[in-house]
Chains A and B, each alone.
Chain A
């Protein structure tokens, strides 16, 4: 009985445990499915309008005892021209006192109440604890309608602006932002112009007063108030404080038309301090929010470069590791062109490769349809952010504001999710072809020319150079200064030491090297023999000798035919047991600077001739030769020959490049070192 009882209890416990176990049994190998979609509640702000045109929107939200407010003067962009900087100065001067409250008293009171108030050139906003809202609203109204604009304040803000302009001169990001707008829109466009020291100095207090009197009007003004207030109180207070704000005439301004470049080009600005290149591929788009293409462009951009799952990010960051982030953005504008822009900051050495990837991604995006899954995911992302944005009470107000200022249908946001869902993969491709340009884009690059330019020049785009203020400039100087004490002799001695010791190398009588490569379907083999006074090179293809060059003091012979004397004369310095022995003894071979070869600093020894010029590159760190470049100019034609050297291997105590990569027509050919000999295998018969 006792036993039986015990068994029962155990069974019970076991059952209990099992049921617990069953409860905990979740299949974590399966991603959980979403529950039923939450219902969303799109409220609408309450509104009223004053006789002077000021439109007011109020969203009551009593969750926290605070209030925020925004005033927007929707007057459109203002072109400042020779006085660029006027709106900045005016914006800074506003909100520092009123005709009846001194600057100190005004700022002291705002701070005392713990509030934040900012008035800009065409806007104002504040946030405050709700208990101080009435007073902050009153102070804002006074500051907007009766600003204190004094000469003293003007001079202070002008000086600060000029200092601020200077402060950004070495910032790659600041220069890039200015350049992108100036180049894409042109400096005659309000979005393209920027303030300089000169234009900021042109501004006077009278300009500021005039600007205020002209543009700070309630005609196109919206005041949005969100938070712990009641509509009734707001209406009473706003009416009381803003009713006397006088309407005026806002000047009509025709914004210049913007055109893209006829053919995609690179716009390069050199900043020697850059450790990353700022790259932006930009074309303009004519797109308003009310355009039926709007939703498809949102999704296209999302898939292309709208975030961490975008193709740009997956390619340039996740796959290539070129950058911390690569994104695209498509804008919309009611009054003028907006832009489609793909951008990233990438490390200097991959500037060209990044441009290639950007252009490739844009092309692919236009040429092929996105997948159903990509589109589905992009839609989900938009739907999610739409739902989550509703947490912020200001969202409802900004939607209402968009409907009025961007002339959207009343139900724009009620049907928002529906319109997102209706977009198809065909729509995405159609808008990509319409708005994402491969042929008429500007590739604006701000970076270090020394590192980035040599490879950018190999891309199929014209490069135009600009200075930091986006004025046309000439190509930047491309070599680095040499450190003190470095001369041709030290560079060559370093080389000799690196390959086996200067004394040993200089004492050699002869050298013989053989390289082989597979190209054009056969084995190409080349053997070079050198003594201190003679040189021979034999190239064979599939076992047959195709070319033999011999150089002696008597001349240069190609397949036993002498080359013209002027040309031969310019080649003879290369004679020596090593080319470098020739450089050492030739007075017209000079150390010219430091350039970058495959991302590393290299000393350059150049020999300039009428017909034959050459540059030989030695790695600064290892001393080894890494590249040779020969340029032959004859009868107006120029031919470049380039070879790079790597993978040095030792033979008889002397190191020779194990790999030599050269070009054979359009093809790159990699030669492997087969054998090398010193002081043997070379006889006089080789130089006939």
Chain B
């Protein structure tokens, strides 16, 4: 009895020590609606300035896909005070590093600098927000670059249509813009007129549709003043209306085949539509994914890779604002057929649907998610990204500290229920991803 009490108090102690490494931040709005988040950490002389715009591929209209990603490129072309081609140069010439990325839901720009260049970082992002130069020359330049990006990352890369979802999304979504890929259609981009880019910019890239995160080694009061100086007078834009497009449930399994000329080994994939990232079930699916494929003791890995039936198993849980996508798959080995892999994958799903996972497996999940959680908070740039995403996509900045409690609240019964609710045989896409022969 005594021993048990001792153990539980030890467990309590551990969880307290974990919460002690809380990420401190403060947040407020400027009068133009720009949301500001500050995370101060003076332990290393580094500063990150980041802006996340709440616009992604899902905000595009049919016939004009690829716009959000196009702007990721276009907004490096220059501003009223930064000549064309100088943006990267200024960052590098001041010892910084920068980049940007786009998803279905948001676009993220960031710089990191030695901390004496905080003001420069704020200036760069405020220039980009206030008066970027959007002209035909820039559009033409970036159009070519994006075509090369598509060739390099998708058309010439093994499994590129899976990695970048260009062979996935259209099958699992029929109405929602998630049916398109982030890189979009090259024909759409070719056909787009300058005015359409200008309109898209006006609609989505205003301060009231963005969050600025400053993270790292700074002094709070001076920083707030600088933020007001650089961002305060950027005009507010129209209120952005979010799309509200519903997908009808899939009631009969959809069988499709995709081809890739860069591969030798095919892939069997099951693709499921899952709930919004704000839904607790989306977190539960992360755990399902972990049970099946995370680590050498994971169920699907042990069953397929250890038994020499598969070269590799994979699972991605794409959690997104409106709907998610859960993808699981395997690459066959030796004489195993894709159909056999499908049967094995189904057997593992059925097991999750019919039996509770063991207490031990459940504890394993807790440890794995705690480790992920600790690692995701390392480095000011990672922290900035998480803060911005939690605010923009989930409306709760403090998830950076609280998310672990959501995972901890998930029960074994939740996992079983979610497997039944979302990993249904009749509501999925079954894909054979095959090698394309070159004549």
Contact = CB atoms under 8 A, between A and B. Distances in A.
Interface of A: 23-24, 26, 28-32, 34-40, 63-66, 96, 104, 107-108, 110-116, 127-129, 131-132, 156, 159-160, 163-164, 166-174, 272-276, 307-309, 314, 317-318, 321-325, 345-347, 376-377, 380-385, 387-388, 390-392, 481
Given A40-B45, A388-B114, 20 more contacts: A28-B81, A35-B118, A38-B217, A63-B21, A111-B298, A114-B364, A114-B369, A127-B375, A167-B263, A170-B261, A171-B157, A273-B436, A276-B156, A307-B88, A308-B92, A318-B85, A321-B141, A324-B151, A325-B152, A380-B93
B92 A307 contact: yes
Contacts of A29: 81
A321 B145 contact: yes
B377 interface: yes
A273 B114 contact: no
A586 to B, nearest CB: 29
B126 interface: yes
B408 interface: no
Contacts of A111: 294-298, 364, 368
A391 B43 CA distance: 8
B14 interface: yes
Interface of B: 14, 17-18, 21, 43-46, 81-82, 85, 88-90, 92-97, 112-120, 122-123, 126-127, 130, 141, 144-145, 147-149, 151-153, 155-158, 217, 225, 228-230, 232-233, 261-265, 294-298, 305-306, 308, 311, 331, 333-334, 360, 363-364, 366-372, 374-375, 377-380, 435-436, 438-439
Given A163-B311, A170-B264, A388 B46 contact: yes
A171 B112 contact: no
A144 B82 CA distance: 55
Closest 9 CB pairs of A and B: A384-B95, A114-B367, A321-B144, A38-B45, A111-B295, A377-B93, A35-B116, A114-B371, A273-B261
Contacts of A346: 148
Given A38-B217, A173-B157, A323-B148, A381 B93 contact: yes
Contacts of A345: 148, 151-152, 156
Contact of B371 (A104, A129, A163, A168): A129
Contact of A275 (B156, B263, B377): B156
Contacts of A107: 295-297
Contacts of A32: 117, 119-120, 122-123
Contact of A64 (B89, B95, B262, B377): B377
A384 B145 contact: no
Nearest to B305: A160
A324 B370 contact: no
A129 B145 contact: no
17 contacts: A24-B233, A32-B120, A34-B117, A63-B21, A64-B377, A107-B296, A129-B370, A160-B308, A167-B264, A170-B435, A273-B262, A276-B148, A276-B152, A323-B152, A383-B114, A387-B95, A388-B97
A166 B264 CA distance: 7
Contacts of B311: 160, 163-164, 167
Contacts of B265: 163, 166-167
A163 B312 CA distance: 10
Contacts of A308: 88, 92
A31 B96 CA distance: 15
A96 B306 CA distance: 11
A65 B264 contact: no
Contacts of A384: 92, 94-97, 113-114
B237 to A, nearest CB: 19
Contacts of B369: 114
A36 B116 contact: yes
Given A26-B230, A34-B117, A163-B334, A274 B156 contact: yes
B357 to A, nearest CB: 13
A447 B374 CA distance: 44
Contacts of B153: 324
Given A32-B120, A38-B115, A170-B262, A275 B44 contact: no
A203 B260 CA distance: 32
A170 B45 contact: no
Contacts of B436: 273
Contacts of A169: 264
A39 B439 CA distance: 62
Q: Which of A26, A66, A113, A114 has the most CB of B within 10 A?
A: A114
Contacts of A63: 21, 43
A317 B145 CA distance: 7
A66 B374 contact: yes
B11 to A, nearest CB: 11
Contacts of B14: 131
A559 B117 CA distance: 79
A97 to B, nearest CB: 10
Contacts of A385: 95, 97
Contacts of B95: 380-385, 387-388
B92 A380 contact: yes
Contact of A163 (B117, B297, B333, B380): B333
A53 to B, nearest CB: 31
Contacts of A65: 17-18, 21, 374
A110 B297 CA distance: 9
Nearest to B44: A391
A127 B367 CA distance: 13
Nearest to A114: B367
A66 B114 contact: no
A647 B88 CA distance: 41
Contacts of B331: 167
Contacts of B119: 32, 35
B141 A318 contact: yes
A156 B304 CA distance: 12
Contacts of A108: 297
Contacts of B21: 63-65
Contacts of B264: 166-170
Contacts of A159: 308, 333-334
Given A31-B90, A317-B145, A384-B94, A392 B297 contact: no
Nearest to B84: A318
Contacts of A167: 158, 263-265, 311, 331
A323 B148 CA distance: 5
Nearest to B140: A321
B229 A96 contact: no
Nearest to A381: B92
Nearest to A386: B95
A387 B46 contact: yes
B402 to A, nearest CB: 17
Given A35-B116, A387-B114, A390-B45, A115 B371 contact: yes
A200 to B, nearest CB: 14
A30 B230 CA distance: 12
Contacts of A325: 152
Contacts of A273: 261-262, 436, 438
Q: Which of B89, B90, B230, B380 has the most CB of A within 10 A?
A: B89
Nearest to A161: B311
Contacts of A131: 14
A345 B333 CA distance: 31
B151 A112 contact: no
A35 to B, nearest CB: 4
Contacts of B122: 32
A324 B152 contact: yes
Contacts of A383: 95, 114
Contact of B363 (A35, A112, A391): A112
B138 to A, nearest CB: 11
A383 B113 CA distance: 11
Given A128-B371, A274-B156, A324 B145 contact: yes
Contacts of B92: 307-309, 377, 380-381, 384
A285 B379 CA distance: 35
A132 B45 CA distance: 31
A275 B116 CA distance: 44
A380 B334 contact: no
